A and B are shown apart, each in its own frame.
Chain A
Amino acid sequence: MSTDNERERDEEAANLPEKQGRERLAAPVRRTGMFGATTTGDTSGFGGLQVRGSAPAHSQRPFTDPDDPRTADFDRVADDLEAALGEDAGAVERVEAARGELTFHVRREALLELVRVLRDDPSLRYELCTGVAGVHFPDDAGRELHAVYHFRSLTHNSEIRVTTTCPDADPHVPSIVSVYPTNDWHEREAWDFFGLVFDGHPALTRIQMPDDWHGHPQRKDYPLGGIPVEYRGATVPPPDERRSYQ
């Protein structure tokens, strides 16, 4: 009974408005203004608006929400993974359970060992990797590049996401092709578009862009071209510089 009370007290403390306010102000500013104008043209009064992003989500156990059938096996998977990793359990930095999906944020050094466990441990058996997606967050200092993997277990009919990050200055992530050969092309694609270097990949070359291409086009800092118009030397500005609603 007392433990129940304690837990309630902890939950209340976590939800105090003052704490939430502090967290909110600590979150990075995602955008200012409302209508895309940076000059004095915006007389709407929304020019000073600051919209903040959300702090990195960190879910607490239990991950399984009894009201949400999609989350039914989350606690089981988290327990099994912790047990299978043993003393390497520190590889998982944080766990996020949101929208019926379970995400493990993993240190990049431990990624290869972790996916081996995911594939081989009988209680986990994630046989299928559906590839890796790069995501570029230029404002997330020290963790600019994210590599996002989705795994599917046909044995247990379960699905998880594993995310690892690396800084722009050192864009290295271990390749998991040795465990999941299907990731060969997927990793080449992430290298091509984001400049993520997958160490240990058998032949990390461009796959979609021409071999002599410079730069990695899906990064947020990749310069986009405008369109010249045959009218007094005018150009249509690149899409990220056009005035638009945000």
Chain B
Amino acid sequence: MTVTEDYIDASGGDWDDVIEKAQATSAERLVVNMGPQHPSTHGVLRLILTLDGETCTEARVGIGYLHTGIEKNLEYRTWTQGTTFVTRMDYLTPLFNETAYCLAVENLLDITDRVPERANVIRVMMMELNRMASHFVAMATFGMELGATTVMTNGFREREMILDIFELVTGLRMNHAYIRPGGVSQDLPPGTVGKVRELLKEMPKRIGTMRKLLDENPVYLARTRDVAHLSLSGCMALGITGPLLRASGLAWDLRKAKPYCGYEDYEFDVPVSDGGDVYARYRVRMAEMEESLKIVEQCLDRLRPGPVMIKDAKIGWPAKLALGPDGLGNSPDHIAHIMSGSMEALIHHFKLVTEGFRVPAGQAYAAVESAKGELGCYAVSDGGTRPYRVHFRDPSFTHLQAVAAMCEGGTVADVIAAVASIDPVMGGVDR
């Protein structure tokens, strides 16, 4: 590579001058800013690539374009309100964010064992559906970035089935704030089980279609086989978990290793591949979706009538939500009770909603196996009604560090495939 003192600033000015100067020099090295507004960078990721012809010799990552200060914001909200914020971090895995946060808060409150069984089953079911939705988006955007728009439209169409269920259960397609410390915000509405059964019947076909499209597709294989290879030791050094680690040959899954929410009671396999390349990651994600279907089916069988929020009036919200003519809100019965029946109930409701509950001083770390890897929530309490500090260890944030290891020495086109196989979501990376 010729090292030259010349440099050409292509960030403004007359384009003719740039071309003239570029033609005058013999330098082959080119530093390109890919993003933060590039369509194939999953939002606002900025890649700083040094190119020597078609080869990427250096790949650096710039993040922070979507930093919204969620961790700081949490410190001025009650513990319950926190779920509304954390759900917006990695917006493709909202239910994992909520669960990680709630598990940490529940550990601080020492109520982990008192979360009702039904709430845990619902949590597992929602998380597994969310895993599938996230994997569908991973594959859809990947297809789009490689120019396979059918994969994109199929992926988003399949995901829509899951989002319909989310909308039915939580009222929202994204940003649910559904899982709360002590349980979940409301029980499954009538018709949910039927709708999930429908999905269980339909989804294997849809996944099969996706597999037919991609598994043996020569173009897809050419773009993904032996691309962005990362060995197991590389994964360990870079702190990589989730599908990326399992695609490098280690069957490590927190659902098996450190079960939470009752995962030890479900039967499922941990898909693993030793390819270590983009294709292996695709295969692992595909197989994980099939395992998720198994878990969701077991969830439906395990659903027993019962409460979905802890039976502790100091923590569980007193209100029962109900669907009225103007949308979801407090049930008329509850309003009648607190407004004209019991003044104590009104005081209790008011105190719990405005002031919130106190959480004993201390610290807790809860980790869940999110669709992307180990999602950790470290919560510190000073004994007050608000978090003293909450830190999220987002898998996308950690995984983006591997871009240099995956891309350097490859071609520019493979950079796209490498980043897409990491499946970063900038909402989670920047928080």
- What is the interface of chain A, defined by CB distance below 8 A to chain B? 30-31, 51, 53-54, 57, 98-101, 103, 127-131, 133-136, 148, 150, 152, 154, 157, 159, 161, 180-186, 189, 193, 206-210, 217-218, 239-240, 245-246
Contact = CB atoms under 8 A, between A and B. Distances in A.
B72 A217 contact: yes
Given A127-B236, A131-B239, A150-B376, A246 B383 contact: no
Given A53-B361, A208-B67, A128 B385 contact: no
A245 B240 CA distance: 41
B361 A54 contact: yes
A150 B69 CA distance: 22
Contact of A135 (B236, B365, B380, B431): B380
B241 A131 contact: no
B385 A130 contact: no
B69 A217 contact: yes
A72 to B, nearest CB: 12
Nearest to B430: A208
Interface of B: 63-64, 67, 69, 71-72, 76, 107-108, 110, 236-241, 250, 252, 257-258, 354-356, 361-365, 367, 374, 376, 378, 380, 382-385, 388-389, 391, 393, 397-398, 400-401, 430-431
Contacts of B393: 130-131, 133, 150, 186
B72 A218 contact: yes
A186 B363 CA distance: 19
Nearest to B233: A127
B64 A181 contact: no
15 contacts: A99-B362, A130-B398, A133-B391, A148-B378, A150-B393, A181-B238, A182-B401, A185-B397, A185-B400, A208-B64, A209-B67, A210-B64, A217-B72, A245-B385, A246-B384
A11 B361 CA distance: 23
Contacts of A130: 239, 367, 374, 376, 393, 398
A202 to B, nearest CB: 12
Contacts of B237: 180-182
A136 B416 CA distance: 39
Contacts of A134: 391
A37 B385 CA distance: 16
A127 B374 CA distance: 14
Nearest to A184: B401
A241 to B, nearest CB: 11
B76 A208 contact: no
Given A98-B362, A99-B362, A157 B384 contact: no
A86 B430 CA distance: 41
Contacts of B63: 207-208
B364 A101 contact: yes
A99 B241 contact: no
A129 B361 contact: no
A97 to B, nearest CB: 12
Contacts of A129: 239
A27 B354 CA distance: 28
